[in-house]
Each structure stands twice: as C-alpha cells, then as structure tokens.
Structure 1
Amino acid sequence: TTQIIQTREIDVFKPLVIIFTRVEGGTASNVIPTTVKLGGSIRYLCEDGEGDEKKFERVIAGVCKAHRAKYELKFIHSNRMLSNDPGMAELVRITAEKIVRSQDDIASDVRTMAGEDFAEFALRVPCAFG
C-alpha cells in the first residue's frame, strides 16, 4: 500500500505525508458499488516531490491490477511549500529576541507539513511565517 512509499522508498530526511481524507462509493448498504472515489493529499517538503507522485501512482496501478480494477488519478497542485524569506526571517528573529526571555525558546529553520495559504503570499512578496 501507500505506506510502503513512506517507510521504504523515500529518504528519511525528506518527509512525505500521504493521507486519504475522502471515500465516496454507492448509496445502498447492501450493494457493492461499481465505482469508488478516493480523495486526499500528498505533502512533501522537497522540491522534487513529483518523483513521489510517480511512486504513488505505481502503487495505485499495482493494487488496481491485482484486483482487475481500473483507476483514474489526478493530482491537483494547490499550495506550494511555505518558505520564509531569509531577510524577513532574520528580522523576525531579532524582534523575537527582544521580546522572549531566553534564546532557547526561539526556533529557527523549523520545517512543517502544515499546509498554509500564506505560502501563496510568500511567493509574491518577502514574508516570514512563524
């Protein structure tokens, strides 16, 4: 299954999250539906995540082949990875040092899988998100 990609096929220093969040199929509780739709997201922190998409499709194709099923796969790329502008991030760090008592409480270069609409702003103007 897709868990194989996350645990055996990617670099542990390039995190990847695959999550299924929607399942649609049929309307009756006693009839097996002829089609099922799955929805979800794949999130990655590296710019070469398209390779992970190919691995994902390979797994889906294999599962469908094993069960003599057909599939249609569509990737919709929405928010890009959120990257802080180095200059703005430094400004935030300097300001935080004036407010926070201990530098141990200030995190720097934290990477997260959180999807943020803020990333779209950061593509257009220098920003720092924290």
Structure 2
Amino acid sequence: VDYVVVADQILNALQTIVARNINPIDSAVVTVGELNAGRAFNVIADTARMGGTVRYFNLAYQDYFAKRIEQVIVGVCESHGANYEFNYIPLYPPLINDQKMADLVKSVAELLVETPAGVVPECQTMGGEDMSFFLQEVPGCYFFLGSANAEKNLAYPHHHPRFDFDETALGMGVEMFVRCVDKFCSQG
C-alpha cells in the first residue's frame, strides 16, 4: 500500500465535504494543514499522518463533520486495502457574537474612531478562540483591535512568523473596554 497515494486521495475527497454536503448558504471549512508521509524519496511510504481543522457557524454540523470525515477515510482506505486510525478532537465551538453586544461595541467604536475600518455589519470569523466558550454562557462580543503600523514595519497578519503589533493600540483597546462597560452599565 502506498500511503502517499492514499493520503492524496483522502485529502482530495475531504475537499468535497463542504462543497457537496453543506448548505451553500452556511459557512464551513475543512482544512488539512498537516500531511506527512514517507521518509525517503525512493521508498514507498508505509504510513501517512494528516492533521487539520474544521470550522463552522451552524451548530447543526457539530457532530456531522466527524462522521463524514471518517466515512471518507474509510472509503478511500478500503479501496486501497489500507489501515487507518482516526482521532477527531473537537476543540472550539463556533464563535458567535450576541447581536445586542455587537451593536454596543460598534456604537462605541464609531465614537472612538472616525472611520472604524473593522466595523463590518454581520461580520463573522472562523477563528477558534476560547471566547467561543464564554459566548455560549454569557452574551458578549469578540472584536478585533487594529494594531498594524506600516511605518514601523508592523503590518504582518496574525499567524505570520514576523507578526508583531504596535503597542500604542493597547491604549485604544483599554478605552474600548472601559467605554463598553460604561455604556453597558448605564443601560441598566
């Protein structure tokens, strides 16, 4: 069994899960971000290891992805006579802001910044964050604080090896939080 071929076919088949099985109105992602197979260029690989992530907003898909991914793996492995071990560990639920809290944060941002670039109506992010657990229990809002500064060469995106942020943005962040708390408390 050539596990490079098996892994390749699994990878390609996984790409069809969202395209062919998920409502096109819903946002979802199945990503294989890690694939390792073989140890030498002239030896057929006898193992392969894949790792990835699943992101979605609709809680109805919470259990679906694990089942569907394993079905794909089983089908490909059976067709090649390959063995597999499947470990699906759900890490984060979808990060869904409370609309009232998002409106509050937006109103504060519009007071602090002349043209708040990051205030986007109905914006969602597929980021996996601890905040998603809090938002399941308490109404809240996850928002981004712009911290890029091209003049200081601090304009790399998150997860880039050279990412850093302009610390002057911290003052704006503190002011955002203080004003949000003040506005929330004044609403009773």
Q: How far did 1:38 drift?
A: 0.8
Q: How far did 1:123 drift?
A: 4.1
Q: Name stretches of at least 5 consecutive residues in structure 2 with no aligned partner.
A: 1-12, 144-188
Higher RCO by CA contacts (8 Å cutoff, separation 6 or greater): 1
Match of 2:60, SS?
coil
Alpha-carbon distance in 2 for matches of 1:23, 1:103: 40
Q: Name stretches of at least 5 consecutive residues in structure 1 with no aligned partner.
A: none
1:129 to 111, 134, 142: 142
Match of 1:128, SS?
coil
Match of 1:34 in 2: 46
TM-score under structure 1 normalisation? 0.81
What is the aligned-residue RMSD (CA, Å)?
2.4
Name which of structure 1's ranges 119-128 and 16-25 shifts more when overlaid on structure 2.
119-128
Q: How far did 1:126 drift?
A: 4.0
Alpha-carbon distance in 2 for matches of 1:47, 1:13: 14
TM-score under structure 2 normalisation? 0.59
Within 5 Å, give how 1:45-84 maps onto structure 2: 45-49=57-61, 50-84=63-97
Instruction: Please identify which structure carries the higher helix content.
Output: 2
Q: Is the 8 A contact 2:95 2:126 kept in 1?
A: no
- Say how many residue pairs are matched: 130
Find out whether 1:107 has 2:97 as its counterpart.
no
Shift of the 26–81 alpha-carbon distance from structure 1 to 2, 3 Å rule, reads same
